[in-house]
Amino acid sequence: MDTTTTTTTVLHLLHDPTNLSSHIQAAKHIRRLTKTSHRFRRQLSPAIKPLVSMLCFQSVEASEAALLALLNLAVKDETNKISIVEAGALEPIVSFLQSVDSNMQEHAVAALVTLSASPVKKRAIGASGCIPCLIRILNHGSLQAKLDAILALSNLSTEPDNLTLILQSNPVPCLVNILKNSKKSSKITERCISVLELLVEFEEARVSLTSEEGGVLAVVEVLESGSHQSREHAVGTLLTMCQIDRCKYREPILKEGVIPGLLELTVQGTLKSRTKAHTLLRLLRESPYQRPELESETLENILSNIISQIEGEEQCGNAKKMLAEMVQVSMEQSLRHLQQRALVCSSSDLPITASCASEVSLK
């Protein structure tokens, strides 16, 4: 059977008004055909409206089959994403986010991850009421639902209106908890810290982060051990805080032993990380307050001296040598604090091994 005949047969089944089993069978066929084929996603786009109608059926089997078919139709197809949202899919999808059926909840979050990858519909998706549901899932959902929820929030957070809605749902405690309990090099950590970097532009988020036990420390640990992209977001988070109110946030950042990680970034980070790390070091090395004459070996003077030398170096080998010396000095000065951190944190970094992408895997 050629693709045209197959498409016609499936669409005929889907439009049969008298037979629920025909609808379910058609939805399953669409899910299978569109799993890997962009051609079928294009040919079967007329199925979107009847599939969206199926989401409102009383049959859980029908709703699940339709949702999975829509998910596969949307993957890597911007036109279908837009059509699914415009056909009215968001309202039933948001209701599934609140379902006691964990499978339906997971499917709904997966659908939102894919739909929220559309730049055209981010605002509409955020306005649908899904954001508070996604934050609740970060607290109480299954592991897979949590992973997809942070992906969806990360996609949505690039729209300013959505960022305000995310902030209203008090997400920082959830994000800090994920950072504490995820492998620092994981994709979930990367997405989590990227959202946090955007949120700390708001005072409410900065206050929440510094008030949360281990909040700033969690960011510092990502800066030290995360992926290149995660470290870039982590240093950006701390830099934003310090640039907005250095008097308020300099000490909370310094006391978490951030200096060694920042110095390493000035040599080994990405271009953006190196630039941000240099800027943050400049903000941290001098007190914003008028203070009595400092002793020559204070951290401020050491930083000023070493940083100025690193900035003037042309050879990476010499810079790395000075970096090692600076790390040693800083470690000696903050030994007591770092030992306390080691005792507290050695058993708390539980790995999350699941991998994530900007759009969820086809089901």
Q: Is residue 55 part of a domain?
A: yes
What local confidence, expressed as pLDDT, does residue 14 receive?
80
Same domain? 69 vs 217: no
**Is residue 124 in some structural domain?**
no
Phi, psi for residue 2 in degrees, rounded to 5: -75, 170
Question: How big is the chain, counted in residues?
Answer: 363
Same domain as 350, residue 216 = yes
Give residue for tokens 């401020």.
Answer: 300
Indicate if 354 and 223 belong to the same structural domain: yes
Structural domain total, the chain: 2
Residue 75, domain member (yes or no): yes
Cβ atoms of 149 and 137 closer than 8 Å: yes
Eight-state DSSP code of residue 292? S
**Sign of the CA dihedral with 180 first, then 183, 185, and 189 last:** negative
Let me know if residue 122 belongs to a domain: no
Cβ atoms of residues 176 and 190 within 8 Å:
no
Q: Kindly list the distances between the CA atom of residue 44 and the CA atoms of 15, 104, 144, in Å, as whole numbers in the listed order.
A: 13, 23, 28
Q: Is the pTM of the predicted complex or chain greater than 0.75?
A: yes
Q: Considering the chain, what is the average pLDDT of its residues?
A: 84
**pLDDT given for residue 160 in this prediction:** 93
**Angle subtended at Cα 127 by Cα 125 and Cα 131, rounded to the nearest 5 degrees:** 75
The domain boundary, picked from 66, 88, 110, lies at 88
Domain termination residue (choose one: 69, 88, 107): 88
63, 96 contact by CB (below 8 A): yes
Does residue 2 lie within any of the structural domains? Answer: yes
HSE, CB side, 13 Å, CA atoms: give it for residue 317: 0
The domain in which residue 273 lies consists of 211-287+297-363
CA–CA gap between residue 135 and residue 64 (Å, rounded)? 23
State which amino acid sits at residue 223.
Answer: L
CA distances from 248 to 173, 244, 251, 318 (A): 20, 9, 7, 35
pLDDT digits (tens, 9 = 90+) for 21-70: 889 999 999 999 999 999 999 999 999 999 999 999 999 999 999 999 99
Same domain, 220 and 75: no
Which tokens in the block code for residue 63? 């709703």
CA 179 to CA 176: how far, in whole Å? Answer: 5
Q: CA-to-CA distance for 296 and 1, rounded, in angstroms? A: 84
The domain that holds 312 is classified in CATH as 1.25.10
Q: What does the alpha-carbon distance between residue 290 and residue 21 come to, in Å, rounded to a whole number?
A: 77
Asked if residue 32 belongs to a domain, the reply is yes
In a domain, 176, yes or no: no
Domain boundary among 88, 113, 148: 88
- 169 burial class (0-12, 13-18, 19+ CB within 10 angstroms)? middle
Q: From first to last of the 363 residues of the chain, give the pLDDT tens digit.
A: 457 777 888 887 787 666 888 899 999 999 999 999 999 999 999 999 999 999 999 999 999 999 999 999 999 999 999 999 999 999 999 999 999 999 999 999 999 999 999 999 999 999 999 999 999 999 888 888 999 999 999 999 999 999 999 999 999 999 999 999 999 999 999 999 999 999 999 999 999 999 999 999 999 999 999 999 999 999 999 999 999 999 999 999 999 999 999 999 999 899 999 999 999 999 998 665 544 444 334 444 555 555 555 555 444 454 455 555 555 545 544 444 545 555 544 444 444 333 334 566 567
- Please report whether residue 196 resides in a domain: no
Question: Can you state the angle between helices 187-199 and 143-156, rounded to 10 degrees?
Answer: 40
What is d(CA 125, CA 133) in angstroms, rounded to the nearest whole number?
12
Residue 143's pLDDT is 85
